[in-house]
Structure formats: structure tokens, C-alpha cells
Amino acid sequence: MVELAKTFIEKFGPGAEPKTYFSPGRINLIGEHTDYNGGHVFPAAITLGTSGVARPREDTLVRVYSLNFPDLDVIEFDVNETANRPELNWANYVLGMLVSLRKQGFQTPNGFELAIEGNIPNGSGLSSSASLEMLVGVVVRDFYNLSLSTLEMVLAGKATENNFIGVNSGIMDQFAIAFGQVDQGIFLDTNTLEYSMVPVVLTDYRIVIMNTKKRRELADSKYNERRSECEEALRRLQTQLDIQALGDLSTEVFEQHTDLIGDDTLIKRARHAVTENERTILAKEALTSGKLETFGQLLNASHASLKEDYEVTGIELDTLAETAQQQEGVIGARMTGAGFGGCGIAIVETDKVAAFKQAVYDNYLTVVGYEPEFYEATIGSGARGL
């Protein structure tokens, strides 16, 4: 943060003392591709994230700078602009939040200066974009004295992704980043937005994030295709079943009615959404009752479903997760995030972490041909001023 504060003064000059902020990234422990299917998710905020130094301006100019993209230098736009502009690059997420908040009825009368630095690997699937959105949310709530609830801020972030950036994503990322608490997972019903905090007590285990180093861009991936496949499967089921979402179904009832879908691919996509929702509910019960082995088995089953039924893994994520599952001291591993690259997570016995990393690294390098990266994740607090 010291380096960032120094950069802020270099880029924006002297003036009022700026304030500091932090917004985390997130991992999803389990419950993948269930958020837009009306199911449950189980994410947690992590201590990797986006730091910000900011101060308000008296005019309507917004000036932003990122240490992660120094070649872009300072990007400027007017606070009242309404359209996504390609030349704004990452700053479109900042503008998008302002547009979304105004549509919710909040006033954004003046501009501000903001310097950021993220240590979430870009394109890793740990939600760097939602982290930035929630950072902007806490900054402008502060600067404009907005009576903006955390949930309203989350909804503005989702609207930014869906309507301004053009990514048809669910609400989980922003929710986890805004509501996160230390050593707590968030068990969230994406249909009702009811949630409960669940202690994630791993005692002698660590969460290891495994980065494929293969970038994935949601807008360019098959994410929207999977979503439309699930919507079509739901529409066919609704011809005879009184359901609002795939998350309303048990596996048993789903399997009794697959003939309504009548398409092998659509059946597989919907089966993942239904079974993953059940696994997420069971995972909450396992963690609540301290059954870590059961929790690990559910992670493994989640990855298998994402590979076989949802087909969003690929050789990189499969190599990481399946190699991890075979290592001593690992109770479970799976891909996390949207897939098509990005990251996996593994729950690893603390004193086996070094050997685990080396073994997975060696096999990944052999199979895929380039190096993965590893981070040990700690579950931390949500977006906030410091």
C-alpha cells in the first residue's frame, strides 16, 4: 500500500490526504455454475485482492490509474458518461459501477481520483473484475455519503457485468467479495439471496489455489452457451414440472423426468446443475459437523461433474485437479470459477503442502508444457475502507 500511495501522488499530484481501501478476490469452495440456475453456492473472500488509494474531486472528472497496467497510464472520463468505451479498457468497470448506481437512484455528483493495484492474477478466475467493482462501490459510498446497502452494492456490480460489460454472470462473485468474513464461507441460496455464514475450520489443512496460467475471459468463453443450454433444459422441464429453476429439483426427480428434455447434451448440462446444488448443501452440512473427509469427497465429485457433464474443465484444469487428488495429504481438489482455464483448489495437509506443490508442478509441466502457479489462500474480510 505504501508503493501505491506514493504512485497516487506521482500520478495525481499533491492535495487532500487520500483514503485507502481494499476489496478481496474470492474462491468458490463448491457450487459451480449453480448461481444462475437458482441453486446454492459456497464462496469465501480471500486475502488476495485489489488495493485502492482515492480522493474526491470538486469537478466531474474521474481519473484512474492501475499499477497492473502502467502502459495505459492515467485514464480519464466524465462521471456522468453512460456508454462503455473500448479505449477506457479496465476503467469501464469503474464507469459501469457509476452508471449502475445512478440507475438504482443514487447520485454521483462529482469525480474522484483512484489508483489501484491488484494481486489477483488477471484472468485466473478469482474474480478480479468483481473485486474492482466492489472496491469502487465502497469508495463512492464513502465519497458521496450514499445510503447504499451492501446488497445494493452487490446488485450494482452484477448489473455492471451483465448490462455494461456484457457478461451474463450470476451474483456469487460480488456477494462473496462484499459480504466476506474471516474464516467464514458464505452458504448462499441464489434464488432467494438468503445466506448464512459457515465457519471453515480446516485445522491441520490449507487451501492451495492452483493456477493453470491459462487465461480465460468469460465474455469470450462458452459461459453464455452453457447458461443458455441450462435455460433451454429448464424450459423443457417446465412443460410438466412446476419449477422456477433447476435448483428447485432433487437428483431423483430430475432423473425421473429427463425424457422431457430429450437431448443428451442438455440433459448432461442440467444434471450438473441439479447434482452440484445437492453437493453444495451436503458440503455445508459436512463442514458444520467437522467432517472434512466428506467435504473433500464432495469436491472431487464436483470436479468430475464439471468435467463429464458440464464440460468446462479442459486438459489444464483436469491435470491440476486430478494430479492433486492423487497426492498424499489431499482430501479433495477441483476446478473453481467458470472453467476453461483459471484456477483449481485443493485442501492439503499443512505439512504436505511443499511436497504437494512440487508433485503437481512436475506433472503439469510434463503434460501441459508450461508452469502452473500456487498460492496458499486465507479466508478474509469483505470490501472495506482501511
Residue 19: burial class (beta carbons within 10 Å; 0-12, 13-18, 19+) = middle
Catalytic (active site) residue 173: yes
Torsion angle of alpha carbons 148, 151, 153, 157, nearest 10°?
-160
In this predicted model, what pLDDT tens digit does every residue of 125-161 receive, in sequence order?
788 999 999 999 999 999 999 999 999 999 999 999 9
Question: Residue 353 and residue 181: Cα distance in Å, rounded?
Answer: 25
CA-based end-to-end distance of the chain: 11
Residue of 59, 73, 173, 248 marked active site = 173
Give the residue among 27, 8, 34 at the shortest CA–CA distance from 19: 8
pLDDT at 340: 86
- The predicted model gives 265-280 an average pLDDT of 98
Query: What are the phi and psi torsion angles at 377 (to 5°)?
Result: -95, 140
pLDDT at 339: 87
C-alpha cell at 204: 491441520
**pLDDT greater than 60 at residue 242:** yes
Q: Which structural domains are found in the chain, ordered by start?
A: 2-198 (3.30.230.10)
**pLDDT greater than 70 at residue 220:** no
Residue 153 contacts residue 45 (beta carbons within 8 Å): no
Question: Residue 48 and residue 182: Cα distance in Å, rounded?
Answer: 13
- The predicted model gives 170-188 an average pLDDT of 95
Of the CA atoms within 13 Å of residue 231, those in its CB half-sphere come to 8
**pLDDT greater than 90 at residue 224:** no
Helix (H) or strand (E) run with residue 334 in it:
strand 330-336
Question: Residue 112 and residue 78: Cα distance in Å, rounded?
Answer: 10
User: Which one is predicted more confidently, 51 or 340?
Assistant: 51
Length of the chain: 386
Classify 314 in phi/psi space as left (phi over 0), alpha (psi -120 to 50) or beta: left
**pTM, two decimal places:** 0.91
pLDDT at 219: 44
pLDDT at 127: 84
In this predicted model, what pLDDT tens digit does every residue of 60-94 receive, in sequence order?
999 999 999 999 999 999 999 999 999 999 999 99
- The predicted model gives 234-242 an average pLDDT of 98
Q: What percent of the chain has pLDDT over 70?
A: 98
Question: Residue 133 and residue 135: Cα distance in Å, rounded?
Answer: 5
**pLDDT greater than 70 at residue 284:** yes
Residue 113's identity, in one-letter code, is E
